[in-house]
Amino acid sequence: MSETVAIIPARGGSKGIPRKNLQRVGGVPLVARAVEAARTCPAIDRVVVTTDDADIAAVAAEWGAQIVERPADLSGDEARSETALLHALDTLEERKVDVGVVAFLQATSPFIDAEALAAAVQLVRSRRRDSVFSAVETYGFLWEKGIGDAAEPINHEIDVRPRRQDREPHYLETGGFYVVRAAGFRAAQHRFFGSVGIAEVDPRTAIEIDSVHELELARRLAAVIDRDARADRAIAVDAVVTDFDGVHTDDTARVDQNGLESVTVSRSDGMGVSLLRAAGVPFLILSTEANPVVAARARKLGVEVRQAAADKAAVLRQWADDQRIALSRVAYLGNDVNDLACLELVGWPVAVPDAHPLVLSAARVVLDRRGGEGAVRDLAERVLASASRAGTARRAAAGPGARGEASDHPTAPLEAS
């Protein structure tokens, strides 16, 4: 039976926004967001990214896409998306993949609606439509510039202003996705052919990133749209790294008459760290703060610490390398602008809810609890929830009566803090 294949063109060159397809929105690279949208759509059988860029290919493969290497002559500024799609279809044919329906997704649309995409696939699969595109409904009065830049009406009479309820809507392409019959697309060599249908999507998701302004807008929208869409709170990582001030503490300090500082921490956080240690999850406190209180807290928790770190990102890279853990499998919890470089490195950038606005924009997850009030415990529970779910899935796959796997790490004693 033929497959429905999502194809995501993502070239490396971009003049408006350098390395655009690797820019992060909601803590996730744009190309990865497109891959994830396709993978979560039940109507998609296979996800393919066609690219000329090794870094984009690596990120896409890590998120579960198959890669088609796009030739340089199909990757320039003037190259059409249709050309990249046809090349990808030829490559898939060589790989013996029978493609019946193509879902063309654009990585520059960060909020692709998987349900609307599935409905569009069904329209094409059922042969009710040959081509379907994502669009938003609009009742706007549209104009164009005519002779001498004089305004001319497009979809209305210049002297008639009907009420919204008395007008028929128009539809604006979002650029998010296009679904086509593969055979018809090959013949037409264009995304619109035959009977064309519309897949309506939420206007909030309709942003398409072509400028720095639109990228920043998308980052701010992600905090709302991703939160509404993501019911799953689990965080699937192999290690946890946190800042100290504003994360383990409430970002305040008391200073006595001798100049000695003290901070307040949460016992709940201590138990959360202990549970992570017991589960064999490596944990690091990484701070620019030189005060001995940071090391003292790390000793109490029984975890590694790197403090007085002028270049936190470099320290994080080295630590992950020493641990032989991919940065994409690390959760980093921060709260202020000196955490941004680390948040950009990891697969799971996490923020406390009272973090700096730039940190909130960079985060893939914003926790429920504030720094010093159980934020680390909140993160620990989400990491452990993912580990528990993975263990359940392994046991289910092994069948009834299967024995549990031994941990790769020794069990650490719980901290009574």
Q: Would the pLDDT of 394 be above 60?
A: no
At residue 415 the predicted structure's pLDDT band, cuts being 50, 70 and 90, is very low
Q: Edge-to-edge, what's the strand order for the sheet holding 304-306? A: 304-306, 283-286, 239-242, 330-334, 348-351, 365-366
Mean of the pLDDT values across residues 126-134? 97
Q: Are the CB atoms for 220 and 361 separated by under 8 Å?
A: yes
The predicted structure's pLDDT at residue 407: 36
The predicted structure's pLDDT at residue 380: 97
The predicted structure's pLDDT at residue 162: 86
Mean of the pLDDT values across residues 314-323? 97
The predicted structure's pLDDT at residue 398: 57
The predicted structure's pLDDT at residue 391: 57
Q: Would the pLDDT of 39 be above 90?
A: yes
The predicted structure's pLDDT at residue 94: 96
> Which residues contact residue 138 at a Cβ distance below 8 angstroms, ignoring those fewer than 6 apart?
169, 170, 171, 172
pTM assigned to the model? 0.79
Domains with residue ranges and CATH for the chain: 3-138+170-229 (3.90.550.10), 239-398 (3.40.50.1000)
Whole-angstrom Cα Rg for the chain:
25
The predicted structure's pLDDT at residue 73: 82
Residue type, 274: S
55-73: per-residue pLDDT in tens? 999 999 999 999 999 988 8
Q: Give the Cα separation of 310 and 331 in Å (integer).
A: 20
Q: Give the Cα separation of 125 and 408 in Å (integer).
A: 46
- Give the mean pLDDT of the chain: 90
At residue 317 the predicted structure's pLDDT band, cuts being 50, 70 and 90, is very high
Q: Give the Cα separation of 60 and 266 in Å (integer).
A: 39
In whole angstroms, how far apart are CA 365 and each of 230, 239, 375, 382, 383? 10, 16, 12, 10, 12
Q: Are the CB atoms for 261 and 291 separated by under 8 Å?
A: yes
Q: Give which of 107, 148, 123 is closest to 14, Cα–Cα.
A: 107
Q: Would the pLDDT of 401 be above 80?
A: no
What b/e readout covers 80-93, taking b as 16+ CB neighbours within 10 angstroms?
A: eeebbbbbbbebbe
Mean of the pLDDT values across residues 1-23? 91
The predicted structure's pLDDT at residue 179: 98
Who has greater pLDDT, 392 or 140? Answer: 140
Q: What angle do CA 144, 189, 13 make, to 5 degrees?
A: 70
> Which residues contact residue 157 at a Cβ distance below 8 angstroms, ignoring those fewer than 6 apart?
none
Mean of the pLDDT values across residues 175-180? 97
Q: Would the pLDDT of 262 be above 90?
A: no
Mean of the pLDDT values across residues 334-338? 97
Mean of the pLDDT values across residues 292-299? 95
91-124: per-residue pLDDT in tens? 999 999 999 999 999 999 999 999 999 999 999 9
The predicted structure's pLDDT at residue 389: 62
Q: Would the pLDDT of 409 be above 60?
A: no
Q: Would the pLDDT of 412 be above 60?
A: no
Q: Give the Cα separation of 360 and 337 in Å (integer).
A: 10
Q: Would the pLDDT of 128 be above 90?
A: yes
